[in-house]
A and B are shown apart, each in its own frame.
Chain A
């Protein structure tokens, strides 16, 4: 199984500012995913990040708001830009691997509060 760490674990930010969340994996993986989990909600996929190519965004999410970098096979960043209180959520990165190709491993999440 993959071990995933995220930084920061939590942050409180002012509206209009940006926050970059880092995701580090202990092994090389092709695909990384970024999810948002709003309070009392389930997980919603923001984008899929492949190393060496542009991230693929889901409906309702755009690159200008959530730019993603994937500089190598063990690291990715998600930036939440021009934040508003509606961006207050837990942001999770995940990778696939393990015995089954669809088995996802998640990081601990970054809890973001925008005031």
Chain B
């Protein structure tokens, strides 16, 4: 199917190498930061999250780093595989007084894994 994000910044990585995808966020009061992966023709899929009071969180082959000083979020993917090819979005989640969350999505980065 057709891809989303045809004009998004692209990161090309050799298979087996590590990938680092960066994101700048806007709201220093955001409660959680989340990374989503969107494959062609599909909706975004939750990858990993980090709470605002943390600096680092590790998952399976993925690590998220949060630098609140410069409002910067990064997603590191170890040993990048062809199946990692997708568009990656960061998002901020803010807890509202109603008890619900409001989400703001970043611009996205296309990751291309080269064989």
Contacts and interface: CB of A to CB of B under 8 A. Distances in A.
B44 A43 contact: yes
A103 B31 CA distance: 13
Interface stretch (B13-21, B61-69, B72-80, B103-111): B103-111
Interface in A25-61: 31, 33, 37, 39-45, 48
Contact of B31 (A31, A40, A94, A102): A102
Given A100-B49, A102-B34, A42 B43 contact: no
A105 B4 CA distance: 18
Nearest to B101: A102
A19 interface: no
B71 to A, nearest CB: 17
B93 A42 contact: no
A108 B100 contact: no
In this complex, the interface size class of chain B, counting residues with CB under 8 Å from chain A, is: 20 to 34
A106 interface: yes
Q: Is the interface of B mostly helix, strand, loop or mixed?
A: loop
A109 B103 contact: no
Nearest to A101: B101
B6 A40 contact: yes
A27 B7 CA distance: 35
Nearest to B89: A42
A92 interface: yes
A73 interface: no
A101 B100 CA distance: 8
Interface of A: 4, 31, 33, 37, 39-45, 48, 90, 92, 94, 96, 98, 100-109, 111
Given A43-B44, A43-B89, A102-B34, 15 more contacts: A33-B103, A39-B6, A42-B89, A42-B108, A43-B105, A96-B100, A100-B32, A102-B93, A103-B34, A104-B46, A105-B46, A107-B43, A108-B41, A108-B42, A109-B43
